[in-house]
Amino acid sequence: MDEADRQLLRRCRVRLVRELQVASLWDVLLSRQLFTPAMIEDIQHAGSGSRSDQVRQLVIDLETRGSQALPLFISCLEDTDQDVLASFLRMSRQEEKQNPEAVRPLNLRPVVLGPMGLTPEDLREKTGPLKSTPRKLAPVVLGPEQLWPAKLRPEVLRPEVPRPVDNCSDVCAQEISKQNPDLAYALNADPCGHCLIINNVNFCLESRLTARTGSNIDCEKLQRRFRLLHFTVEVKCDLMAKQMVQALVELARRDHSGLDCCVVVVLSHGCQASHRQFPGAVYGTDGCLVSIEKIVNIFNGASCPSLGGKPKLFFIQACGGEQKDHGFEVACTSPEDRTSGSDPESDAVLFQEGPGSFDQLDAVSSLPTPSDIFVSYSTFPGFVSWRDTRRGSWYVETLDGVFEQWAHSEDLQTLLLRVANAVSQKGIYKQIPGCFNFLRKKLFFKM
């Protein structure tokens, strides 16, 4: 959250504590992914658990939820019929954006806190006007360096992604993207490209592959995310192997000359497979395989000339094999990861190489040196990829969250490092995403 939004929230805090009705907000905050279920629970139990204490904690935590936290919060207020507060915050924000010089700086004079660390305004909200009392309380004086909201409530600190120390990262990313075409791809077209999502959930009985419960959740998240990133999104569900190849060929044959990028997402069962360039293969609903190499090479310079020199991104949510990684012990593990209470499934299927099961000729054919290609795998080759039947896969859930919070300021490779780090800390069994990067420049999504 930028400094102007942060200051606005702090100046409006008293009114929010007085008027905000939080009981109707919880479901909307979760559906907009503004807070996690664990964070909502902590906010509900803040202080005495009263409405006013919940609002105070909500405002404090809101500052940690990214650059779009305030406009998302305003839309949540509108969704819960709190239009007066929503209009007040929206108009105040617009006024400050239009007149930044008129934004009042934070009052950095020492603040005297009374009992339980409450300011005089907080006490008035709780008890009415302050009354004199014969018992003298020694005030606690905090200087400017102690005024960071989380320090007033150390128990609410969570291992969230670190806050940038200033606004430099946003500015630097945008400047690199706009002014250094030799260092970053130009994604100026709107829409900036096509995004094809192949979502295989239900497989025929002969394939002996189980239904991928939870994959539709992944599909919905990615469909929404790439639309927000200015892609035209097309979803194809439950395709046989030949239909998958046909859909990919049709996409490659389109005229991309007026576009800047192309994205392919495959959600399916997968396995290890022979390869020279890109490992792994994914299953069609008929139980037949399509190698990742084949998918990627459909978009090479010879097959898709209008994408020459433009980034082609592939996101593969599928197992790379059957190995289950138990991980190794480290000093600290998040309690929620140790006891997630979920029932994850893997997208692994045993691969037996044999006649007709894999197109060997296509896998080993001589191709031009790949360039402008980025392939992101949900797991390390040879290992399973975990999918929660209620929340979707670990990889897609994390990818969506990271993109929401950081895609406005960081390049693709940095975003995927965040995803790998977050996924690696989940669950009893372990999983770590990885990528094959043949991009020539940094890629910043259009926001």
Cα within 13 Å of Cα(179), Cβ side: 6
Which of 385, 239, 240, 258 is closest to 315 using CA atoms? 385
266 within 8 A of 195, measured Cβ to Cβ:
no
Residue 360 CA to residue 392 CA, distance in Å, equals 32
Q: What region does 238 belong to: left with phi over 0, alpha with psi -120 to 50, or beta?
A: left
Within 23-152, residue ranges assigned H as helices are 26-31, 37-44, 51-62, 69-79, 83-98, 120-127, 149-152
Give yes or no: 269 in active site. yes
Residue of 76, 195, 319, 435 marked active site: 319
What are the backbone angles phi and psi of residue 185, rounded to the nearest 5°? -65, 145
Residue 273 CA to residue 290 CA, distance in Å, equals 10
Cα within 13 Å of Cα(185), Cβ side: 28
The token duo for 364 is 């080993």
267 within 8 A of 283, measured Cβ to Cβ:
no
The token duo for 318 is 């599928």
Residue 329 CA to residue 314 CA, distance in Å, equals 32
Q: How far is CA 418 from the centre of its chain?
A: 10
CA R_g for the chain: 25
Residue of 269, 271, 288, 435 marked active site: 269
What are the backbone angles phi and psi of residue 400, rounded to the nearest 5°? -60, -45
Which of 15, 34, 10, 4 is closest to 88 using CA atoms? 15
Which of 186, 181, 123, 223 is closest to 446 using CA atoms? 186
- DSSP tag of 200: -
Residue 285 CA to residue 291 CA, distance in Å, equals 14
What 3-state DSSP class applies to 87? Answer: helix
- Does residue 191 have a cis bond before it (omega within 30 degrees)? yes
Q: Which sequence positions are flagged as catalytic? A: 269, 319
